[in-house]
Amino acid sequence: MGSMVGASVVRKEDPALLTGRGTFVDDIRLPGTVHMVFVRSYLAHARILSVDTDAAQRLPGVLGVWTHADLDGLPATRSVPGMERPCLAKDKVHFVGEPVAVVVATDRYLAADAAEAVVVEYEELPVMASVAAATAEGATPIIDGLPSNVVLEQQLSATDAEAELAAAPHRLAIALVNQRCAAVPMEPTVCLADWQSSGLTIWATSQTPHHMRNEIAQMFGLSQQEVRFVAPDVGGGFGAKASFYPEFLLTAELSRRLRRPVKYVETRSENMTSMVHGRAQQHDVEVGFDDEGHLLALRVRITQDCGGWPDSTGIGLPTLTSFMSGGCYRIPTIAPSFRSVVTNTTPVGSYRGAGRPEASYMIERVVDRVAAELGIDPLEVRRRNFVQPGEMPYATQFEGIVYDEADFPGALDKLLEHVDYAALRAEQAQRRADPTAPLLGIGFSTFVEMGGFGPTPLFEQFGYVGGWESANVRLNVDGSAVIKVGTSPHGQGHQTAFAQIVADRLSVPFERITLVHGDTATVQEGIGTMGSRGVPVGGSAVFKAATKVRDKAIRIAAHMLEADESDIELADGRFSVRGAPDQGVDMAEVAVRAFKPHLLPDGFDLGLDETAHHEPSNLSYPSGAHCCVVEIDRDTGKVLIRRYVAVDDCGVVINPLMAKGQIHGGVAQGIAQALIEEVTFAENGQPGTGTLVDYTLPSAKDLPRYETDHLVTPTSFNPLGAKGLGESGATAAPQAVVNAVVDAMAHLGVRSIDMPCTPQKVWRVLQAATRNGS
Amino acid sequence: MSHHKVRITVNGTAGEDEVEARQLLVHYLRETRALTGTHVGCDTSNCGACTVLLDGRTVKSCTVLTVAADGGDVLTIEGLDEQGEMSPVQQGFQACHGLQCGYCTPGMVLSATGLLLEQPDPDDDAIRTGIEGNLCRCTGYDMIVDSVRWAAAHGGAGTAATAHAAHAEGKH
Ligand code: FES
Ligand code: FES
C-alpha cells in the first residue's frame, strides 16, 4: 500500500451528497414536529411599546406566540459582560431583523401567516447605522446602561509610533476600508430541538457542536450529558456558523414547553440580516519608510463596526487584525490600536479568515502605496522587507505570535516561475499607449495568516473550553477502523483527510475507515471547525490516537509472534518480524486477539481503542504569494480577471485535490470581496442587501479559472507538518485584485480605490483621473 | 386556502396528492414526497439549489407551484443514479471535486444534466453560462466546470435523464 497522505483521493463523503442522501438539518423528520417562525423588527432602532399577539394566537394551527415577557428567565446569549443579547428583543430593537416574537404552528406556512398577524407597536429612536453616526457628538448609546457606543478600545503596543514615524524619511497616511460582507453559506441557519424527559437533543447548522452543547447546558442549568447537540451535514459555514444564535435556545425552550419537537428554518432574507456579517473594519494607517522602501514604522488605528450586539467571537477579531498587521515584513515598530463600535446594524462575527484578511489587505495595500510613492517596483519593496527564511521561527513583537517555518521570498520566486512578469509589464505599457485597448493591471499579494487555531489560552478568550482537539480511533475486530473527531466539518472533507491519515498509520485500507463527527453523544469531546484547524489540530489528534492504537497493536503482534516489539514491522495491513517476512499476522487477527485476555500478556488493557488530544504548541502560519492580472474596460469600468495564480505554503498537504478546492473557494470569496460584495444599510438602518437579488454572489460567469501551486515548508508546530489552508485564499485574494486594479490605472495617477471595485466605481475613478491627467 | 388534487410522477413513481394552492413544488417534493435531496437556498429564485427537471427542462422548483406541475414528470437528484451507479454527471463531480459542503450540489448536478441534454459537448464558456443560475459558495466553480466537462466525455446526461427527457418529448 502506498502512502495515502499526499494522495489526491476522491472524497468519501461525495456519493451521499451527490445522490441526495446526505442529511442536512431540515431533512430530519421527527413525528409531531411543529414549526417556529420569527416576528422580526422592521425598524433599526426603536422602543417596543406593545406586542399584540391575540389575532395570531387565534389562527388555525397556531400553538402559541411568545415575546420576551413570556419567556421570563430565558438567558441571554453570551457576550462581553454587560452586553449580552436577549433571545428576543426586550424593550428595544437594535437592528432590522432582530427577533421580537416567535410563533409556533403545525406547519411552516401557517406559522408564517400567524407571524404576519402579530402587531408590534414601536416608538422610533434615532438610528445610527454607521460608525460615524454611532460615534457622533451626542449619539444615544444603543445598549442600555452603557455610556457610549464605543464598547471596547485597546492599544496593543507600548508606543503609538509617533516618534518613529516623525523620524522616518517619508511618512504616508492611508485610509482603507474593509467593507462589510456576508458569509452566505448556501444552507441558511436551521435547527430542530426535541426536549424529552431524558434531556434535550438539538440538531443545528453549527461548526462547533460541543461548544454549543456546553453553552446550552449552562444556560438551561442542565448537565452537559443531558444535552445532545448534533451538527449533521452542514451546508457551508465560513465562520458565521461558529456563532451562537438565539434560535438554538428558543427552539429548545419551546420544545420543553410544548412537549413537541420544534423546528426553525431561516429564510434567505432572514439570513441576510440575522446571521453575523464579516469584516466591517476601517483602517487609518500611517507608515514611515526610507528612500529604499524599507518600512520603519506602522501605526494602524482600526475601527470595527460590531453591529447591534457585540458577538462574542466578533468582538475579538480586531485583536487578530492587530497581531497580523506586520504581514510578512520586518517592521521595527508596529503600533496597532482598535475600537469597536455598536451600530444599528446586523451583528458582526467571523467570516472566512476572521480578522486576518483585514490585516493582510491593509499591509499589502500599504506596501503597494510605498512602492508607488517612491517609484519602485512593488515586488522590490516586498523583497526588501521580507522576513527571511533563516529568521524562522520569527517572534513578532506580539507575545505568543511566532511565525513558524516559512519562506516568504521563496513563495514569490515560485509564483514568478508561473508568471512572466517582464512580459506582462511590456504588455501593460503597450496597452496604455493604445486608448482603444483595455487597461492591464498586475497585482500581488504576499501574505501570511494564522491557521491551526488553538492553543487553549487564546481560545479561552473566545469562550471555548480549550484550543485543543480530540480524536478517538478504534480498530474493530473485523479489521476495519472508526475515527471519532471533535472537529465538525461543513464541506472540508474531514472524512477523507482523516481516513488518509489513519490508513497510513494503521495500514488499514482507506475504504474500511469510517469517520464519526458532529454529534456530542457519540464523539467524546471537541472544539470545532474554524480557523483552519481541521487538519493541523483535528488531524494531529487523529494522528496521535492512531499512533497509540498502532503501538498497542504492535505489542499484541509481538506477543503473538513471540518477537521483540522493536522487531515488528507493519506493512500492507500485516505485522511481520523484521528479517522474517513470512512470519506474520494481519491486522484483523491482532484486532481479535485484542479481546482475548487469556492469550495476552497479564494485565493487558483489552481492545484497540484509543483517545488522544492535540493541543497545538502555537498557531501555524500559512503563507504564500498570489498574483492577479486584470483587464479594465475603459468605457464601462468593468474589471475582468484574466489570470489568477496562487502559490500557497500550507505546509504538508494531506490531499492535493481537496487542498485545491479549499484554495479555489477561498480565492473566489476574496475576489468577490474585491469586486462585487458589500453589505449596505441606508441611513435609517434599512438593509440595502437583504436578499440575493441585492447582495450579488458571484456566479460561474463572474469568476476566472485559478492556477495553483504549492511550496511546502512543513511546520514544526504539529506532528503532521500541516498549517491549514481554508482561509488562505480569502486572506490573499482581495489585495491581489485591488492592487491589480490600482496598478492598471496607476499611470493616470490613481493610487487607491475602495472595495468592491464595481464597474461604476472604477469608471468614476477612471473618469476623474483622465480629466485630471490630461 | 383552497386545496387541489395533483398527479405528479417523480423519478418514475406516480403520486396523487391533495395540496394547498400556494404550495411550492420544492416543498411538495421535500415534504409530501419525502425526497429531501432537493434543497432550498433562497426565497428569490436566485440560488438554484432547488433545481429539478420537470418534463425534460430544468426548473427552479421554488418558483413552480405544485398545482402547476399537475400531470408532470419530475426528475430529482434521487432519480439520477441507475441501480446504485451514479450518473456521469454525479461521477464527474466526485472525480473532479466539484463539491464541498454539497448543499448546492443537487441543484448544480441537475442544471449540468439539463445542459448536457441540450448541448452534449459544451465548451467552458457554455458550461459557465449553463450553470450561471446556480450559486455555489464553496468551490469557486472551476472544478464544477471540470466536472461537467468530465461528464460530457463520459456519457453525458446519463440514462435516467435521457429517458426522462425522451418521455417528456413524447408527451409534447
Ligand atoms: S431555492 Fe430555488 S432558487 Fe434558491
Ligand atoms: S458545495 Fe457548498 S455551496 Fe456548493
Give the pLDDT confidence of A246-284 residue by residue, as tens digits. 999 999 999 999 999 999 999 999 999 999 999 999 999
**pLDDT given at position A463:** 85
pLDDT in tens, B25-48: 999 999 999 999 999 999 999 999
Domain A277-453+618-773 and domain A468-614 have a common topology: yes
Residue B83, in any domain of the structure: no
pLDDT in tens, A142-177: 999 999 999 999 999 999 999 999 999 999 999 999
DSSP H/E element including A334: strand A333-342
CATH for B145: 1.10.150.120
The interface predicted TM-score (ipTM) is 0.98
Residue A774 has pLDDT above 60, yes or no: no
Specify the pTM.
0.97
- For residue A135, how many other CB atoms are within 10 A of its CB? 17
- If one compares A622 and B83, the residue with the highest pLDDT of the two is A622
Among all ligands shown, which has an atom nearest to the Cα of B40? 1
**Same domain as B55, residue B93:** no
pLDDT in tens, A208-239: 999 999 999 999 999 999 999 999 999 999 99
Residue A1 has pLDDT above 60, yes or no: no
Domains of chain A by residue range = 18-125+186-236+241-274, 277-453+618-773, 468-614
Residue of B nearest to A236 (CA): B101
- State the average pLDDT for chain A: 96
Q: Is A24's CB within 8 Å of B40's CB? A: no
Listed residue (A330, A331, A276) closest to A298, CA to CA: A331
For range A349-377, the mean pLDDT: 98
**Same domain as B92, residue B71:** no
**Which chain B residues contact residue A657 at CB under 8 A?**
97
For range A356-375, the mean pLDDT: 98
What is the CATH number that goes with domain A468-614?
3.30.365.10
Pairing state of beta strands A707-710 and A639-649?
parallel
**Same domain as B95, residue B71:** no
pLDDT in tens, A703-726: 999 999 999 999 999 999 999 999
Residue of A nearest to B98 (CA): A661
CATH for B44: 3.10.20.30
Among all ligands shown, which has an atom nearest to the Cα of A187? 2
Residue A553 has pLDDT above 70, yes or no: yes
Residue B172, in any domain of the structure: no
Residue B82, in any domain of the structure: no
3-state secondary structure of A585: strand
Spatial CB neighbours of A766, under 8 Å, sequence gap ≥ 6 = A632, A634, A637, A745, A748, A750
**pLDDT given at position A78:** 82
User: What are the b/e assignments for B60-96, b being 16+ CB within 10 Å?
Assistant: bbbebbbbebeebbbbbbbbbbeeeebbbbbbbbbbb
Percent of chain A with pLDDT strictly greater than 70: 99
For range B141-149, the mean pLDDT: 98
**pLDDT given at position B172:** 65
CA dist., res. A427 & res. B129, Å (int): 29
For range A52-81, the mean pLDDT: 93
Q: What is the total count of domains within chain B?
A: 2
Query: CB-based contact (8 Å) between A699 and chain B?
Result: yes
Q: Is B42's CB within 8 Å of A22's CB? A: no
Q: Is B99's CB within 8 Å of A22's CB? A: no
Residue B146, in any domain of the structure: yes
Residue of A nearest to B40 (CA): A187
CATH number for domain A18-125+186-236+241-274, candidates 3.90.1170.50, 2.60.120.260, 3.40.50.20, 3.40.50.80? 3.90.1170.50
Q: Is A493's CB within 8 Å of B100's CB? A: yes
Decide whether any atom of ligand 1 lies within 6 Å of the B145 Cβ. no
For range A328-356, the mean pLDDT: 98
Confidence class for position A773, pLDDT limits 50, 70, 90:
low
**pLDDT given at position A79:** 82
Q: Is A187's CB within 8 Å of B90's CB? A: no
pLDDT in tens, A432-449: 999 999 999 999 999 999
**Same domain as B159, residue B124:** yes
**From ligand 2's centre to the CA of A487, what distance in Å?**
19
Confidence class for position A81, pLDDT limits 50, 70, 90:
confident
Query: CB-based contact (8 Å) between A701 and chain B?
Result: yes
**Same domain as B151, residue B100:** yes
pLDDT in tens, A509-527: 999 999 999 999 999 999 9
Percent of chain B with pLDDT strictly greater than 90: 95
| Ligand 2 pocket, CB under 6 A | A 186, 236, 491; B 99-105, 136-139
Confidence class for position A582, pLDDT limits 50, 70, 90:
confident
**From ligand 2's centre to the CA of B113, what distance in Å?**
17
To test the pocket of ligand 2, the residue of A186, A490, A697 to mutate (highest count of ligand atoms within 8 Å of its CB) is: A186
Decide whether any atom of ligand 1 lies within 6 Å of the B59 Cβ. no
**Same domain as B145, residue B109:** yes
Residue B147, in any domain of the structure: yes
- The alpha carbon dihedral of B9, B13, B14, B17 has a sign of negative
pLDDT in tens, A589-619: 999 999 999 999 999 999 999 999 999 999 9
Residue B81, in any domain of the structure: no
Find out whether A306 and A182 touch, Cβ atoms under 8 Å.
Answer: no
**pLDDT given at position B84:** 86
**pLDDT given at position B83:** 85
For range A193-221, the mean pLDDT: 96
Q: Is B101's CB within 8 Å of A700's CB? A: no
**Same domain as B63, residue B99:** no
- The alpha carbon dihedral of A423, A428, A429, A434 has a sign of positive
pLDDT in tens, A42-60: 999 999 999 999 999 999 9
Spatial CB neighbours of A522, under 8 Å, sequence gap ≥ 6 = A484, A516
3-state secondary structure of A593: helix
Q: Would you give the distance in Å from CA A539 to the centre of its chain?
A: 18
- CA-to-CA separations, A599 to A315, A584, A607, in angstroms, rounded: 58, 17, 13
Using CA positions, which residue lies closest to atom 3 of ligand 1? B45
3-state secondary structure of A645: strand
Instruction: For residue B31, give its domain range.
Output: 3-76
Residue B117, in any domain of the structure: yes
Architecture of domain A277-453+618-773: 2-Layer Sandwich (3.30)
